[in-house]
């Protein structure tokens, strides 16, 4: 694939470029706040940057009619509406977490939570101290499955991302947790999503769609 990357000079952008190149793909458009480097027409666009970059990313996808894989967090209803509008013309894979492990964890929580409906449940998420959004997009995804579960957010050190769900009743505790040990986990998932979306019809997809398709 010839791919474009928004926020290429950031930590996640660098990880994506490295991971994609290791699999033989070529960066032809690299964009960040200060400059843009173009060496060809992108067949797909990647964006794991900031909400403020969304309009620029959407414009690129419209210009080159290329699909989009986007893992930016901190979006509101307005940003999601823009993505849904673009998905009528190009394929989009959107998720707040492209870790394969996290998506398996979400499936586990979805499957077991009905059996634990009378238990107390709380969510703990920890990320690096420079992460701006709180709670994390992943914690929100978990909360959506558990409805009214409280979320506790920590921003400390250089942690790529820890998520834990704790269920408890009067006599026992059940913990489900996931730890990302490097940003490579998200880049690997982004690569799977990019390779998957290339031959798909315009629509709005999630990483769960990618995961289920791989298994099928």
Of 34, 74, 82, the closest CA to residue 50 belongs to 74
The pLDDT tens digits of the residues spanning 20-43 come to: 999 999 999 999 988 899 999 999
Instruction: Report the pLDDT value the prediction gives residue 189, as an integer from 0 to 100.
Output: 96
Taking 80 as the threshold, does the pLDDT of residue 214 lie above it? no
Averaged confidence pLDDT in the chain = 95
Q: What mean pLDDT is predicted for residues 38-50?
A: 97
Confidence band (pLDDT; 50, 70, 90) for 216?
very low
Task: Tell me how far CA of residue 203 lies from CA of 21, 44, 92, 134, in angstroms.
Answer: 27, 14, 6, 29
Q: Rg of the Cα trace of the chain?
A: 18
Confidence band (pLDDT; 50, 70, 90) for 133?
confident
Of 3, 19, 8, 18, the closest CA to residue 188 belongs to 19
The pLDDT tens digits of the residues spanning 53-62 come to: 999 999 999 9
Three-class secondary structure of residue 16 per DSSP = helix
Instruction: Report the pLDDT value the prediction gives residue 34, as an integer from 0 to 100.
Output: 84
- Give dist(CA 139, CA 136) in Å, integer: 5
- Give dist(CA 163, CA 161) in Å, integer: 7
Instruction: Report the pLDDT value the prediction gives residue 163, as an integer from 0 to 100.
Output: 97
Q: What mean pLDDT is predicted for residues 72-93?
A: 96
Taking 60 as the threshold, does the pLDDT of residue 14 lie above it? yes
Active-site amino acid positions: 127, 131
Q: What mean pLDDT is predicted for residues 69-96?
A: 96
- The domains found in the chain, sorted by start residue, are 2-97+184-215 (3.40.50.720), 100-180 (3.30.360.10)
**101 Cβ neighbours under 8 A, 6+ residues apart:** 178, 180, 185
Determine how many CB atoms are found less than 10 A away from the CB of residue 142. Answer: 26
**167 Cβ neighbours under 8 A, 6+ residues apart:** 116, 119, 120, 121, 173, 174, 175, 176
Q: What mean pLDDT is predicted for residues 200-208?
A: 96
């Amino acid at each position: 694939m010839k791919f474009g990357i928004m926020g290429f000079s950031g930590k996640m952008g660098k990880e994506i470029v490295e991971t994609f190149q290791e699999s033989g793909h070529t960066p032809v458009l690299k964009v960040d706040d200060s400059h843009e480097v173009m060496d060809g027409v992108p067949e797909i666009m990647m964006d794991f940057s900031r909400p403020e970059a969304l309009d620029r990313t959407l414009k690129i996808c419209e210009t080159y009619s290329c699909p989009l894989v986007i893992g930016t967090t901190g979006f509101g209803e307005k940003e999601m509406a823009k993505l849904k509008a673009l998905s009528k013309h190009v394929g989009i894979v959107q998720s707040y977490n492209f870790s394969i492990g996290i998506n398996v964890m979400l499936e586990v929580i979805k499957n077991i939570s009905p059996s634990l409906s009378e238990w107390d449940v709380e969510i703990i998420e920890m990320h690096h101290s420079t992460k701006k959004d709180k709670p994390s997009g992943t914690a929100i995804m978990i909360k959506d499955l558990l409805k009214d579960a409280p979320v506790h957010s920590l921003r400390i050190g250089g942690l790529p991302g820890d998520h834990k769900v704790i269920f408890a009743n009067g006599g026992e505790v059940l913990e489900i947790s996931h730890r990302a040990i490097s940003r490579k986990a998200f880049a690997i998932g982004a690569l799977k999503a990019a390779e998957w979306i290339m031959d798909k019809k315009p629509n709005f997809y999630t990483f769960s769609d990618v995961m289920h398709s791989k298994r099928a």
